[in-house]
Amino acid sequence: MTTVNTGAPGAADEPTGQHAAATADQRAADVRPVRPVRPSRAARVRRGIGMVAVIVAGAGVIGVGPGVSPAAAESAPAHAGWDGSRYWFKNSKGQWRWTTHYDVYVARTGGGSSSAAKSPSTGAKSSGGIKQGWDGSRYWFKNSKGEWRWTTHYDVYVARTGGGSPSPSGSSGSSSSGSSGSAAGAVAGDQGIESAVQFALSQLGKPFRTAGNGPDGYDCSGLVQQAFRRGGVNLPRVANDQYAATTPISAGQLRRGDLLFWSPNGTKRGIQHVAIYLGNNQYVEAARPGTLIRISGISSGYYPSYMGRP
């Protein structure tokens, strides 16, 4: 129903009863709670991406860089460098950090990135902090210009250094035919022993396999037997028999390529584990089921019971 303007002031604005009721109903409708509109799927996806971006950005603020992990939850290492499983170094704040990537380690320690040298299978490093010999992953030596170079091939290392140890000042050069070794541990003079070591190192990362003789997995004595077979040395299959086939030595006589043995009861017949010594208190081993062939460090809590030279 419509209203009629009679000329009285405000008459056109005064609704009739029916219209007033309708208007009241409208007002009631206006105060009902409004149902929220659910965002579209695209909007929800965009919101999720935004939240992830915020989280990632926040992580970047406290991160320590690609390929690097903080050492806060782990005990501090004894020194910088390779510990058998990772490279340790200190950041600009003096905090310990580690990485499994050698190029990241070199970049963070100011060594610069490694590059190919003039000869095959060799590399260079631009700064000090390294020593001639095996460092756990490669052989280091200085060329005729006094520049550091490295190689993963023992025969190349021997050809470049004469197989000798560095002088006390750290400079390179050949020594007399009777000397051997380096600051990282004496290098066995027998090329066959080094071939055995290199074979064992080439198996790193393969799984422990009970009674395994390779090529897909090994147990401790299987790895040792197969490694020394490549070096022309025939050893028995079982760890305690392998010790019986070696020449017993003391810790002070240890050199690269010697064997380490562990006996829970301390007897020779009780020997149950064997590993190959690498130098610098490190050894390569097939430890136990559930582990991979790895490089480990000699510790007072797990010290070899016997040592022998094949």
Summarised one tens digit per residue, pLDDT across range 46-55 is 676 666 544 5
pLDDT tens digit sequence for 267-309: 999 999 999 999 989 999 999 999 999 999 998 888 999 999 9
Query: In which band, very low, low, confident or very high, does the pLDDT at 148 lie, cut at 50, 70 and 90?
Result: confident
Q: Are 144 and 150 in contact, with CB atoms under 8 Å apart?
A: no
Q: Are 286 and 222 in contact, with CB atoms under 8 Å apart?
A: yes
**What's the pLDDT score for residue 303?**
93
Burial class (CB in 10 A: 0-12, 13-18, 19+), 90: middle
- How many beta carbons lie within 10 A of that of residue 10, not counting itself? 6
CA-CA distance, 300 to 90, in Å (whole number)? 26
**What's the pLDDT score for residue 134?**
73
Quick one: which of 176, 153, 151 has its CA closest to 165?
176
**Residue 220 bears catalytic tag:** yes
Q: Are 197 and 275 in contact, with CB atoms under 8 Å apart?
A: no
Tokens representing residue 163 in the block: 């197989």
Q: What is the mean pLDDT of residues 31-39?
A: 59
**What's the pLDDT score for residue 208?**
96
Amino acid at 199: F
Query: In which band, very low, low, confident or very high, does the pLDDT at 56 lie, cut at 50, 70 and 90?
Result: very low
The yes-or-no verdict on residue 13 having pLDDT over 90 is no
**Residue 153 bears catalytic tag:** no
**What's the pLDDT score for residue 253?**
92
Higher pLDDT, 221 or 60: 221
Q: What percent of the chain has pLDDT over 70?
A: 58
pLDDT tens digit sequence for 176-233: 333 333 333 344 447 889 999 999 999 999 999 999 999 999 999 999 999 999 988 9
**Residue 273 bears catalytic tag:** yes
Angle between helices 220-230 and 191-202 (to 10 degrees): 130
Q: Are 271 and 201 in contact, with CB atoms under 8 Å apart?
A: no
Architecture of domain 191-309: Alpha-Beta Complex (3.90)
Exposure on the CB side of residue 116, measured as CA atoms within 13 A = 4
**What's the pLDDT score for residue 180?**
34
Give the H or E element holding residue 82.
strand 81-82
The yes-or-no verdict on residue 98 having pLDDT over 50 is yes
Q: Where do the structural domains in the chain lie, given as residue ranges? A: 191-309
Tokens representing residue 277 in the block: 């010594």
Amino acid at 114: S
**What's the pLDDT score for residue 106?**
75
Burial class (CB in 10 A: 0-12, 13-18, 19+), 223: buried
Collapsing DSSP to helix, strand or coil, 100 comes out as: coil
Q: What is the mean pLDDT of residues 2-26?
A: 48
**What's the pLDDT score for residue 205?**
94
Collapsing DSSP to helix, strand or coil, 193 comes out as: helix
Sheet containing 81-82: order of strands: 69-70, 96-99, 87-90, 81-82
CA-CA distance, 53 to 291, in Å (whole number)? 37
CA-CA distance, 299 to 84, in Å (whole number)? 12
Provide the whole-model pTM.
0.44
